[in-house]
Structure 1
Amino acid sequence: TFLHNSDLIKHQRIHTGEIPYQCNQCDVTFTQNSNLIKHQRVHTGEKAYGCNECDIVFTWKGSLIIHKRTHTCEKPYQCKQCDMTFLQNSDIIRHQRTHTGNKTI
Structure 2
Amino acid sequence: MKFSSKEQSDKHKKETHKGESFICEICGKVFVHRASHFSHVRSHLPPQYACDSCDYRTCHKHDLIKHLRIHTGVKLYQCEHCTASYHTSSNLSCHIRRCHAHERRHACHLCDRTFYDRTKLNRHIDTHNDIKR
Which band: TM-score by shorter chain? 0.7 to 0.9
Kept after mapping to 1: 8 A contact 2:46/2:59: yes
Counterpart in the other structure of 2:122:
93
> Which amino acid counterpart does residue 92 of structure 1 have in structure 2?
L
- Unmatched tracts of structure 1, length 5 or more: none
Distance 2:80 2:102 in 1: 15
Distance 1:103 1:12 in 2: 34
Greater RCO between the two (CA within 8 Å, min separation 6)? 1
Measured on the aligned residues, the alpha-carbon RMSD in Å equals 2.6
Matches within 5 A, 1:14-93: 17-69=45-97, 70-93=99-122
Kept after mapping to 1: 8 A contact 2:108/2:125: yes
Distance 2:41 2:123 in 1: 37
> What is the percentage of aligned positions where both structures have the same residue?
35
TM-score relative to the length of structure 1: 0.74
> Which amino acid counterpart does residue 123 of structure 2 have in structure 1?
R
- Unmatched tracts of structure 2, length 5 or more: 1-33
TM-score relative to the length of structure 2: 0.61
Distance 1:91 1:20, change over 3 A: same
Distance 1:98 1:12, change over 3 A: closer
Distance 2:119 2:41 in 1: 32
Moved over 4 A (4+): 10-15
Distance 1:14 1:40 in 2: 18
